[in-house]
Structure 1
Amino acid sequence: MSSEKFTFRFVVPESAIDGLGHVNNITYLQWCLEAAEAHWLAKTDAELREQYVWVVLNHNISYKNPAFLGEEIEVQTWIHSHKGVRSERCYRIIRIADNKTLVEAKTQWCLLDGTTRKPIIIPQKVADLFV
């Protein structure tokens, strides 16, 4: 049931570097969240975004290799599955120069009604945008 990958690339900025000289672990998580938001924005219109909002239930992240200042990075994300009010989104962050995987991650998201902020079963019209 996986969706097509949504990707974006950028160069690692100085603000992402920690005291050990590589990208800070929390920065990878931020990049995952930014990718999820960008994917949602790319697939939906303003009306749909007012109707529904997503909240994180949990994150699972595995750090495979470090990234460094000035390296070109690609963040990939896709919907792995969904059921009821939940959706599992996967991420892979790679270094372009050698195609090494830096991070693999998954996030469990819950869909909320945009007005009541209560969980709502993922409607088919939303699922169809991603699968």
Structure 2
Amino acid sequence: MENVFILTITVSAEDIDNLQHVNNLVYLKWMDKIATTHWTHLTKNNPLPQYVWVVIRHEIDYLKQASLGDEIIVKTWVGETKGITSIRFMEFYKKNVLLVKAKTIWAMLDSKTLKPVRIRENVLKVLQAPK
């Protein structure tokens, strides 16, 4: 995989539910965090404040559990981008074991009107840039 962005997260007490593992909603929070962090990284030299992204669909497979103190490696990359949408993939690992995999469809909006806008070449170049 090329253009993979990686973030490391350590599981904290707030992430744990009554079953003593990371709560499913925490993964959603982490997905938002890595997507936002990746976009900020991609646009650091070429900010695009005229656009904002919103989630329109999540597909998540919970395969294994993570517990307090585990170090989680999160990998993300951008898939097909066309029209107003961009697909983002994410994988969460503990050591080399895949815990969770996800696919999120994001829609791009105009930051002033909050109406969907077509993803143009300037945004495509940013999304397809090497990390």
TM-score normalised over the length of structure 1: 0.91
Name the counterpart of 2:86.
87
Q: Cα–Cα, structure 1 residues 123 and 48, in superposed 2: closer, same or farther, change >3 Å?
A: farther
Name the counterpart of 1:108.
105
Matched residue of 1:36: which SS? helix
Matched residue of 1:40: which SS? helix
Q: How many residues align?
A: 128
What's the CA shift for 1:45? 4.1
Gaps of 5+ in 2: none
Residue identity (%) = 40
Q: Which moved more, 1:73-82 or 1:41-50?
A: 41-50
**Which of the pair is proportionally richer in helix?**
1
Counterpart selection for 2:126 from 117, 126, 129: 129
Q: Cα–Cα, structure 1 residues 113 and 47, in superposed 2: closer, same or farther, change >3 Å?
A: farther
Matched residue of 1:38: which SS? helix
Q: Map of 1:53-92 to 2, 5 A cutoff?
A: 53-92=52-91
Gaps of 5+ in 1: none
Question: 4+ residue stretches of structure 1 with deviation over 6 A?
Answer: none
Provide the aligned C-alpha RMSD in A: 1.6
